[in-house]
Chains A and B, each alone.
Chain A
Amino acid sequence: MKKKFPGLNIFFGKLEEFVSWSRSYSLWPLTFGLACCAIEMMASTDPRFDLARFGSEVFRPSPRQADLMIVAGTVTKKMAPIIKRLYEQMPYPKWVIAMGICASTGGPYYKSYSVVKGVDEIIPVDVYVAGCPPRPESLIKAIIFLQEKIRREKRI
């Protein structure tokens, strides 16, 4: 918001800034836990590391109503076409976080015959989080990075 008159509650700014400000503070994730990282994702919503105070009030089970997909866990070749179909079902604008090293590069299973080496072979990823499993604070930091990235975008 560019200019503020002292004493009055009036803001001036561009339309793209307002729109991306409101989008970044109300990200609703899709429940997509696959393996161990899903438990740390659930632990980041409990009363100690509350994720709801950053805007992710509810986790939507249906992809048509979500705008953030947190891929938490190992992606296997049998599950890959399903992830692609779920990603295509989400409406624009949408973002993806790859949580954990299994989703980023294959992780400890990179020599296996049935594991996709990183989910970015299938869908485009915005933020990668390292850790096996990453602590809930790392996931919250990744969501804050994503919020800053969204605020820099200039599209309506």
Chain B
Amino acid sequence: MKYFKTDIIELNLGPQHPATHGVLRIKLHLDGEMIIKAEILIGYLHRGTEKIMENVNYIQAMVWTDRMDYLAPILNNFGYILAVEKLIGITPPLRGEYIRVILAEFSRIASHLVWLGTHLLDLGFMTPFMYAFREREKILDLLEEVTGQRMNNSFFRIGGVAADLPDGWEERALNFLESFEKNLGEIEKMVYENEIFILRTKNVGILPLELAIELGVTGPPLRGSGIPYDIRKFFPYSSYDHFEFKIPTGEIGDVYDRFYVRMEEMKQSSKIIKQAIKNLPPGDVLLNDFKIVPPSKEKVYNSIEEMIHHFKIISEGIRVPKGEVYASCEGARGELGFYIVSDGTAKPYRVRIRPPSFYNLQALEHILPGNLIQDAIAIIGSFDPVLGEIDR
């Protein structure tokens, strides 16, 4: 049998592409349709967040953290606030912690719904995209009633949350969760029994467990390969140990397993929200310490002491003791960590953000060779990178 002499083609899966999730650029070396080498180039959305955060004070620096992982903005705020509170040494009141958990889990469900819609759109289904975004609109309505904005809502404060829940919000949230689980079952039936979906996702893009641990992968890709590593269970924060929930895992780490892990996570999040709403304790939502939290307006207008506290906090910022701390929370894509170095003034000396998708995307260079080019699109979608947090 005679073989033709072929060359290796270099193809650019460029920054502007309908199927890469953001401005991601991959240089593929192809032999026919088989990928031989993949080189990932990032940095097209580098905005200099870490340098900007060194020039503003701790209260103002929270605004830039929402815009990193723009699909689940509340979870970014969560990580930053945990680090600053650990540095100062305070804990918010219990009602504030429960409200934080409720909003964080809603944000996680909203992020996974965008993943669901766009991943299935890459694989060829157009209907689940519309269904997923319909559910997401209802969640964004609920968030808008509490925080005032649909996306990029910097709602958390050092010492609690900014405001209490409005009247009747709990019933609306519980009604939504009932209908959400039914609609999710509808999408599952459409997808799990579909032959094309199974052919495109089973045994494709396998990430072996030892390679995942060596590369520092966390989140659904690591849980799809077998280990139930979740920061909410291993290093519990903000009273997550009061709730009961399971951590779903996969078996071999292919695209189907990562899909299954994220679908089950949405159901577990809805279980956490129901438990939190049923057991919500009464009380304050913000700490009563006036050196850290500005007092309310009635007190400011009526007493000179509170007015001085308010003036000092707004004009200078809060004083944070000298030291360094590393705190992490479970983001929608993995372990989102913040390492803050403080030198005793009102502005941070160094803020380092540990983005989960940065480490997950490193794994892509090792598992893309050996697959066909159409599998590359399915694998990128199953890792779910968000370029806002990779490039910061």
Contacts and interface: CB of A to CB of B under 8 A. Distances in A.
Contacts of A38: 22
| Chain A contact surface mostly | loop
A123 to B, nearest CB: 14
B114 A39 contact: yes
A79 B137 contact: no
| Chain B contact surface mostly | loop
B374 interface: no
Given A31-B18, A46-B133, A113 B71 contact: no
A36 B67 contact: yes
A94 to B, nearest CB: 16
A93 interface: no
A35 B46 CA distance: 11
A113 B47 CA distance: 8
Nearest to B18: A61
Contacts of A76: 44-47
A118 interface: no
Most chain B beta carbons < 10 A, residue from A33, A34, A42: A34
Interface residues of A, number: 32
Contacts of B15: 79, 82
Interface string B19-62: 00011000000000000000000011111100110010000000
Interface in B140-198: 150-152
Given A39-B114, A108-B64, A133 B151 contact: yes
A6 B89 CA distance: 80
B17 interface: yes
Contacts of B388: 35-36
A33 B51 CA distance: 25
B151 A36 contact: yes
B16 interface: yes
Contacts of B67: 35-36, 108
A114 B50 CA distance: 12
B339 interface: no
B152 A132 contact: yes
